[in-house]
Chains A and B, each alone.
Chain A
Amino acid sequence: MIANLGSPLSAALALLCAWVVIGLAGLLRPMSLVFAGRTLFPLGAACGLALALAALLGIAAPTAHLTLPIGLPDLPMHVRCDALSCVFLCILGATSAGVSLFGAGYFRSGQGAPPGLLCLQYHLFLASMGFVLLADDAYGFMVAWETMALSSYFLVTTQHRIEEIRRAGFLYLLMAHLGAIAILLCFGVLQGGSWQFSFDAMRSAQLSPPRAGVALLLALVGFGAKAGLVPLHVWLPEAHPAAPSPVSALMSGVMLKVAVYGMLRVAFDLLGGPLWWWGLLPVSLGLFTALYGIVFAAAQTDMKRLLAYSSVKNIGILFTGIGLAIVFHGVGRPQLAALALVAVLYHSVNHAFMKSLLFLGTGVVLHSTGERNLGRLGGLIHRMPWVAWLTLVGTLAIAGLPPLNGFVSEWLLLQAFLFAFEVPHTFVNMLLPLGAGLVALTGALSGYVMVKFFGVVFLGKPREAAAAPAHDAGSLERGGLLWLASGCVILGLLPAQIVPVLARVAEQLHVGRLLPNGAPWWMLVPLQGRQASYAPLVFSCAVVAVVLLTIWVVRLLYHQRIRRVAPWDCGFGRLDARMQDTAEGFGQPIRHLFEPFFAMQRQLPSPFDPAPRYRVVIGDRIWNAAYAPLGALVQRIADAFAALQQGRIASYLLYGFITLIVLLALVL
């Protein structure tokens, strides 16, 4: 079956292949930074933009299939492009356009892997994510999934000479493979005895409820490990700081969304109809993840770790929405199920834009100051105004403040939560609105975290000398940041245009549909009736009008004179930059309030100490309770087996001989 060349599916395939070609072209001149940076990365950005456009057209187009003549013998690869794939392809294309443009100006020579190789890994990473989104059989899916994991592993360990980065990369690879095993098992359950691994066969397989439940659980573990669902989140805060910033941006912005896509694909497409109460597990895990992530984000002092934990929070919100959609779908409330699903999709798009923007912003800061520790930065808004103001957009967006995009998706999710009172179970009925309260708490906490992030990095005075001579981003970097920031603004101001597009996914998956209502184009009314409305364009224009009017009136009636003076020093006459609040100080109320979350080690100096040092080390209880003992156990078992390894070829031959005898005895 060959689709016509103009269809979104063929266009998407062609563009993904173009990415692979661009990547391979990097090998032509592997050591040339100019070739990779000035030619290949901008080309990749253009491909991303084209992919986003093609996918946008594809959302409205009917589902397209294609069988590719590649793969194993008698096992061709199936690809399929429906609205769900298209939404995520659109995220991939649009985000990577910004990140690639930024990357064109970002990579410097003499840092880790040669630029040509980096270009190959980067574009393979992009293309493999695209193939995951298009794959329509388990083989193709797993091949693309593993390519994605491996290429991103090499990208994380770009600076492989640093031991810490190698360790982070290993942890990432380990978690990625644990997840991949769970996904593989999930597909094994989903085929339901037909031994056909195409997704079409899985859709038509009739699974008994227990089997379907096991499949959903395996999917939750597999995709949760990739997305960073607590307690499988441990790799995230290690891998994100280790990777170069454009790579962190892609991993956090897009790769986590690919995991969310997998979860949605299994839950709403491959698995017939999940029972409603299965959704409660993702809801509760998601809520816990959200709270855990944001509380840890507040206590971080490394800016990229802070952002990584903030990603954990957002993944929690996304899984909460997925669980909610499953619940509503199961109890036969199609409109609310569609609303929850739209909230998930909207938040995926939003988070891709704002988190990439923030990671890229930290990238510039890192390059020009060489510092990731919040406690040594400060005052950068004067040195790098472009980065600071564009990052401010991302900061406000991710803090969930209107009129930017982060607020819209949280608003949609809250609407779904609030009108959830028709679940046929009284106890659940009562707990769900409390979940809304928890979502509100995490939203407010992310405001706190983001004020800390932006305030400590960009405002105030430079805390160390290294931050003082910082320079602003180059023009390509600015272009990338500007693209992502304008995405945040547009997604925030025009929700009424975007929600119907995303609602098509819910309709196509037979989850439910949002009924049309007679609201004007500038107003978002998700549910029928006078239940709720949101018109960001209206009140933003009103705020701007009031601001301009106030400035004009003040100027007209009074004057605009400004005198620059020294800040008020309480009469002591000595203020220095070290008197500002530190990142630790800003996290202190959270550490105090949420103390049970943290495994804290404090070093308090005695009052007579001539050189007092105060230190707090914050550990992850989940790591201490689960991962550390598990790692120690594996190490012990491995040590026990090491006794077999003596380095003499005679004993190895003996082992082989014994194995052969045992096998023969078993067979005969």
Chain B
Amino acid sequence: MMTIEWFTQFLAVAAALAAAPLFLGWVNQCRAWLQNRRAPSVLLVYRGIRKLFHKDAAVAEPASRLFIFTPYIVFGTMVVAAAIIPSVSTRLPFGTAADAIALVGLFATARVFMSLAAMDIGTAFGSMGARREMMVGFLAEPALLMVIFVASLISMTTALPVISERLATQALTLSPSLAFTGVAFTMVLLAENARIPIDNPATHLELTMIHEAMLLEYSARHLALLEWAAALKLLNYACIGFALFLPWGAAMGEAGPPALLTAVAFLALKLLVAGVALALIETLSAKLRVFRAPQFLATAYLFASLGLLVHLLLGA
């Protein structure tokens, strides 16, 4: 069975790498439709990345090696995270390398490197973006951990594949604690992936941008890697959400090729729906002022804590 497991692992990573820009493209397309705009092609993100790889990298003079290494480190972290998250099957060889808490830690590592790289140039934009990103990060990370704690308490483990397996065996009723944490998780996902209402991925307006401010000095292959990593991060978060809240459909336990095919089909379906939902949320909400972001994330933290209390009080 080992070969099957490694094959599944390879499949999961390859699928994540290939599907990440597609998922981002799908979200963009849905958003355009919902906003009565002509939608760009779903493949636009791929084309952008390909174009960037061909260009000469222009690196700012004050940049140190940290600036140049960061895109590779961030990309590597996101790829490995994709290998750990049980998106297709819960029996991945890498699934035991890091539990859910360590996974959050991996994302934090990527974020810290991004912020440091942004400060490396020494422009106002970079350091402002870094500061804001870390502010959103330090509020979102505990909220995300609270979400994971609730799921861990329900399933008595912090290993993401096991959580997913145990939650999938539950009946299809929505437990109130998971409902609260689901809301909290969605809010964290929006904040962590620089989506509206915390950040607008489509803007380069100086006063509001967070993620784009950090990327401002990057170009060519470095920018391509970071864009790809950002798309992977969105996909990873979506897959964590599926593992926690919609575990049905993924291959549980030891699975042969037919089960894997079904799992891939289910994943594609979930991503399609999630893309529409994400576009809907982004269309219906307005971007918050930066100083409102802490309140937004504190609400997420409170929702997750509420889920925890509901679980401990009602045992559901």
Contact = CB atoms under 8 A, between A and B. Distances in A.
Interface string B122-142: 111101101110110111011
A174 interface: no
Nearest to A454: B116
Given A455-B115, A547-B76, A579-B123, A461 B62 contact: yes
Contacts of B83: 542
B72 interface: yes
Contact of A532 (B56, B99, B108, B308): B99
Interface string A414-429: 1100110100000001
A451 B127 contact: no
Nearest to B131: A586
A433 interface: yes
A602 interface: no
Nearest to A582: B127
Contacts of B75: 546-547, 550
A532 B158 contact: yes
A550 B76 contact: yes
Contacts, number: 242
A557 interface: yes
Contact of B102 (A407, A450, A579, A580): A407
Nearest to A593: B294
B301 interface: yes
B98 A402 contact: yes
Given A434-B308, A563-B56, A530 B159 contact: yes
Contacts of A451: 112, 115-116, 119, 130, 134
A539 to B, nearest CB: 5
Interface in B284-316: 291, 294, 301, 304-305, 308-309, 312-313
Contacts of A461: 62, 122
B312 A430 contact: yes
Nearest to B114: A451
Contacts of B68: 562
B76 A543 contact: yes
Contact of A565 (B58, B72, B116, B123): B58
A435 B61 CA distance: 46
A436 B149 CA distance: 8
A564 interface: yes
Interface in B69-116: 72-73, 75-77, 79-80, 83-84, 94, 96-99, 101-102, 105-106, 108-109, 111-112, 115-116
B123 A580 contact: yes
B53 to A, nearest CB: 5
B138 A444 contact: yes
Contacts of A533: 96-97, 99, 159
B122 A378 contact: yes
A460 B59 contact: no
B94 A414 contact: no
B311 to A, nearest CB: 9
B59 A564 contact: yes
B57 interface: yes
Given A434-B308, A531-B158, A550-B76, A542 B138 contact: no
B153 interface: yes
Interface stretch (A277-285, A361-369, A393-401): A393-401
Nearest to A559: B56
B289 to A, nearest CB: 13
Nearest to B109: A401
A421 B137 contact: no
Contacts of B94: 538-539, 542
Interface in A560-589: 561-570, 575, 577, 579-581, 585-586, 588-589
Nearest to A406: B105
A436 B217 CA distance: 38
Contact of A547 (B73, B101, B112, B134): B73
Contact of B112 (A396, A440, A563): A396
Contact of B64 (A382, A407, A577, A585): A382
A444 B216 contact: no
Contacts of A421: 153, 312
Contact of B109 (A402, A562, A577): A402
A445 B96 contact: no
Contacts of A440: 141-142, 145-146
In this complex, the member of A419, A542, A564 whose beta carbon has the largest number of chain B beta carbons within 10 angstroms is A542
In this complex, the member of B57, B79, B97, B308 whose beta carbon has the largest number of chain A beta carbons within 10 angstroms is B97
6 contacts: A379-B122, A401-B105, A437-B142, A530-B159, A561-B57, A569-B123
Interface of B: 53-54, 56-62, 64, 66, 68, 72-73, 75-77, 79-80, 83-84, 94, 96-99, 101-102, 105-106, 108-109, 111-112, 115-116, 119-125, 127-128, 130-132, 134-135, 137-139, 141-142, 145-146, 149, 152-153, 156-159, 162, 206, 216-217, 221, 225, 291, 294, 301, 304-305, 308-309, 312-313
The 5 A-B residue pairs with the shortest CB-CB distance in the complex, in nearest-first order: A460-B122, A581-B127, A455-B119, A461-B122, A546-B76
